Structure 1
Amino acid sequence: MSSYLKWLRGHVGHDLLVLPSVTAIITDEDGRVLLAEDVGTGWWTAPGGAIDPGERPADAVLREMREELGVEVEATSILGVFGGSEFVVEYGNGDRVQYVMTVFACRIVDGEPVADGQELARFRFTAPGEHARMPLAPWTRHVLTRIDPGAMEARFDPPALPPT
């Protein structure tokens, strides 16, 4: 947890926070997507995390991949921006967060992935047909059903409110 988030939690306790975040959709040469098992929940997720104050989203996704998987990645495009009830996470300590997530297409440019053991227990590259049988985090399932990792067009959920 960043020092900023610790400070903020000192003021709001466990109440719901809306936070900007990033996620990497890393594909291999066969088009399979890297998913990782979260240490705390056992859910499979696409790796990522919160954006720190003053940090650019593209820098955050590079930092998170370095921290969680020990790899250097190149962010090649934005696949989408998502948020909503599927992106609410309640942590073991009671903290609640709703992430607004910028999803980046990424490719590994240096290193071999190694799960950090603190946030990620393990990882594997998965084909789309495998996702339905995996215990995915709700937000991961939401994102994977809406993006095209090979596309250069960003996706988002349409507005829920009717036009005025």
Structure 2
Amino acid sequence: MARIEHFNNPNAPKPNSIVVAVTVFVQDEQGRVLLIQRTDNGLWALPGGAQDFGEYIAETAVRETREETGVEIEVTGVVGIYTNPNHVVEYSDGEVRQQFSICFRGRYIGGKPTTSDESSAVRWVPQDELNHLTVHPSTRLRIDHGFEGLTDPYIG
């Protein structure tokens, strides 16, 4: 399913749903962040996705990271909660979702970066290479907050 990101766009369609979702900021031993290139829009992003019924939210973070990247993690904290009402995602099935995402901090346990149906590329990216990738501003904010290592989570 295709998706269009609307960010601070006064002509964006009005949202018709909010879904509990997660992203995960995880670094390897060299301090690189794990990113995927999304198959639905081609942008580079943190792994993540929607919570399933019957899951604790931290389980969602672990599952989505494994499914999209082949990497095993454990959740160690919260980077932030991102709820910008000026960021909506329009899907080809008619859903228009207002952003609601909890960005978790994860610890790399194991596994090798592997693509999936949702990721055309998976790689560990050094902070100094981020400007060379096409990353949505909302995702970049999460990545920057992850690298900052704030003691309190961002709420916004």
TM-score range, shorter chain: 0.7 to 0.9
2:62 corresponding residue in structure 1: 62
The 1:23–1:149 alpha-carbon spacing in structure 2 relative to 1, beyond 3 Å, is: farther
1:24 corresponding residue in structure 2: 24
RMSD: 2.3
Do the aligned residues in 1 keep the contact of 2:36 with 2:69 (CA within 8 Å)? no
1:100 corresponding residue in structure 2: 100
**Residue identity matched to 1:59:** E
1:133 CA displacement: 2.7
Moved more, 58-67 or 147-156: 147-156
Over alpha carbons, which structure has the higher Rg? 1
1:43 corresponding residue in structure 2: 43
The 1-side partners of 2:106 and 2:128 are apart by: 21
The 1:145–1:87 alpha-carbon spacing in structure 2 relative to 1, beyond 3 Å, is: farther
User: When the two structures are superposed, what TM-score results if normalisation uses the length of structure 1?
Assistant: 0.76
The 1-side partners of 2:65 and 2:106 are apart by: 10
**Residue identity matched to 1:43:** L
2:134 corresponding residue in structure 1: 135
2:145 corresponding residue in structure 1: 146
1:90 CA displacement: 1.6
More strand by share: 2
> Which segments of 5 or more consecutive residues in structure 1 lack a partner in the other structure?
2-13, 158-164
The 1-side partners of 2:86 and 2:104 are apart by: 18
Moved more, 35-44 or 85-94: 85-94
2:10 corresponding residue in structure 1: none
Do the aligned residues in 2 keep the contact of 1:25 with 1:149 (CA within 8 Å)? no
The 1:149–1:62 alpha-carbon spacing in structure 2 relative to 1, beyond 3 Å, is: farther
1:87 CA displacement: 4.0
The 1-side partners of 2:138 and 2:57 are apart by: 18
**Residue identity matched to 1:153:** D
1:76 corresponding residue in structure 2: 76
Within the alignment, does 1:126 sit opposite 2:125 as a pair? Answer: yes
